[in-house]
Amino acid sequence: MSSEQGTLPHVVVIGGGFGGLRLARRLRRAPVRLTVVDRANHHLFQPLLYQVALSVLSPAEIAMPIRAVLRAQKNARVLLCEAERVDLAGRRVELFDADSLDYDYLVLAAGARTSFFGHDEWAEHALGLKDLDDAIEIRRRVLLAFEQAERERDPQRREELMRFVVVGGGPTGVELAGAIAELGRRVMARDFRQIDPQQTKVVLLEAGPRILPAFDESLSARAAAQLESLGVEVRCRAAVSGIEPDGVRLGDGFIPTWTAIWAAGVRASPLAESLGVALDRAGRVPVRADCSLEGHPEAFAIGDIAGFVPEGAERPLPGVSPVAIQQADLVAANIAADLRGRPRKAFVYRDRGIMATIGRSRAVAQTRRFRFGGWLAWLAWLLVHIWFLIGFRNRVSVMASWFWSYLTFKSGARLITGTCLHPRVRRELEQQGRAPSRTCRE
């Protein structure tokens, strides 16, 4: 593709998330050739990913083929492929299978990945939540833990199987902890014979002094109370010092568990490292006021991969979808301005508020003027998420799924795919020299 010629400027967009896809749509009438590169074939509605992980929704309900979204946009093509390296000087993106793309404009919108803050060895024992595969793996592991507990004769192991530890008290951690508690307490309450899923223990660990630190203190307290009413144990000032095969280590103790979920941090896509520019602490690419890279006005970064520090501020904007979407609008306008010979504009973030959900009828929300919690916040959360869900069919389907599980306390997608052998059981069998036979599906 590097040999391709065209009279129109070539805009390469890396990433089909909220930022990348919005940018592509915004340039639909611009005199450019667009190439959107993503390593997944789908746009993912990330805010609902935790609901796939806890089997409320099906993967297809929150994912939409990028190709289908851009079907009618004739100036855009979609490539399923991973970008491996960006050569800023040569204006070229190298793809992982040794192909490459030359560009006139580049928009880096590759997002972020789970980060263990330098403890990569924790990755083996803790489950992250950034893409559909992650969500399917969490779903598998949580459901397998209950299944294993039903078969377990040792009461202590049973207790460890039914204890779930979520690390990180941000919105994702809070949502995951609440959803696991509801899965045990309501959805699966009567499904087992030996265990009582209502005895499920969920521990939420937060290193800082309170959960949901981006929210007002009163809402943090309200969220903690709501979580506790669901049976979640909220532990603040609890810094994790190790994640081991059989539990989570804190400075002062050890929580035995079969299932540790990591929602404590992300780091910008490793693609940023290939740029050869100095990155910030979270691996983000520093950008100027117009979202372009220093010394490279033809290259932009938006969303979670970009470190945008507003004028006068000390810290970069948070990695949330409204930032990515608004930056996409700005960059699309700036590229269009370039082409018309007009000046570029600077990015100004309009914060419309934040919200987090804790479970059925429980949520907190905050805008500049209002802060509220409980059923009303939950309803607002519901409406906002349905509204922004890409794809009409998905909106209908998600609403139907939610309505159904609200009415019946059943969840629609309790599927375990892949092997039914828990990785820890496999390890234990192997240690005893008793590998499962070849007939087993793995």
Choose one: 38-46, 165-173, 213-221, 324-332; the region binding a copy of itself (CB under 8 A).
38-46
Reduced to 3 states (helix: H, G, I; strand: E, B; else coil), residue 278 is coil
The tokens for 260 are 């540790």
- 248/245 Cα distance (integer angstroms): 8
Find the DSSP H helices in 279-374: 321-339
Does 8 interact with a copy of itself (rule: CB under 8 A)? no
Does 336 interact with a copy of itself (rule: CB under 8 A)? no
Among 199, 290, 414, 423, binds a copy of itself (CB under 8 A): 414
The minimum distance between CB 68 and a copy of itself, in angstroms, equals: 6
Residues binding a copy of itself: what is the number (CB under 8 A)?
67
Does 431 interact with a copy of itself (rule: CB under 8 A)? no
The minimum distance between CB 408 and a copy of itself, in angstroms, equals: 8
Judged by beta carbon, residue 72 or residue 89, the one nearer a copy of itself is 72
The minimum distance between CB 98 and a copy of itself, in angstroms, equals: 6
242 within 8 A of 123, measured Cβ to Cβ:
no
- 165/163 Cα distance (integer angstroms): 7
Judged by beta carbon, residue 38 or residue 206, the one nearer a copy of itself is 38
- 182/188 Cα distance (integer angstroms): 9
Among 396, 406, 427, 430, binds a copy of itself (CB under 8 A): 396
Does 412 interact with a copy of itself (rule: CB under 8 A)? yes
The minimum distance between CB 44 and a copy of itself, in angstroms, equals: 10
Sheet containing strand 201-205, edge to edge, reads: 126-127, 259-262, 163-167, 201-205, 232-235
Mark 266-305 with x for binding to a copy of itself (rule: CB under 8 A) and - for no binding: ----xx----------------------------------
Which residues in 191-220 contact a copy of itself (CB under 8 A)?
191-194
The minimum distance between CB 419 and a copy of itself, in angstroms, equals: 9
Judged by beta carbon, residue 86 or residue 325, the one nearer a copy of itself is 86
The tokens for 237 are 């000032």
Which residues in 59-88 contact a copy of itself (CB under 8 A)?
59-61, 63, 65, 67-68, 71-72, 77-82, 84
Among 8, 124, 190, 245, binds a copy of itself (CB under 8 A): 190
> What is the H or E stretch that residue 63 is in?
strand 63-65
The tokens for 323 are 């930032």
Task: Collect contacts of 401-410 with beta carbons under 8 A, ≥24 apart.
Answer: 401/56, 401/57, 401/58, 401/61, 402/56, 405/56, 405/187, 406/360, 409/186, 409/187, 409/189, 410/187
Among 25, 28, 39, 210, binds a copy of itself (CB under 8 A): 39
Active-site annotation, residues? 175
Does 322 interact with a copy of itself (rule: CB under 8 A)? no
Judged by beta carbon, residue 16 or residue 171, the one nearer a copy of itself is 16
Does 114 interact with a copy of itself (rule: CB under 8 A)? no
Phi and psi at 371, nearest 5°, equal -140, 130
> What is the H or E stretch that residue 12 is in?
strand 10-14
Tell me how many helices (H) and strands (E) the chain has: 11, 26
> What is the H or E stretch that residue 105 is in?
strand 105-108
- 207/265 Cα distance (integer angstroms): 11
Reduced to 3 states (helix: H, G, I; strand: E, B; else coil), residue 235 is strand
Residue that is written with structure tokens 């922004």 in the block = 388
Among 157, 338, 420, 423, binds a copy of itself (CB under 8 A): 420
Beta carbons within 10 angstroms of residue 422's beta carbon? 18
The tokens for 115 are 């980060």
Judged by beta carbon, residue 60 or residue 382, the one nearer a copy of itself is 60
Residues interacting with a copy of itself, by CB under 8 A?
Answer: 1, 39-42, 58-61, 63, 65, 67-68, 71-72, 77-82, 84, 96-99, 131-133, 136, 143-144, 147, 150-151, 153, 188, 190-194, 270-271, 393, 396-397, 400, 404, 410, 412-418, 420-421, 425, 429, 434, 436-437, 439-441
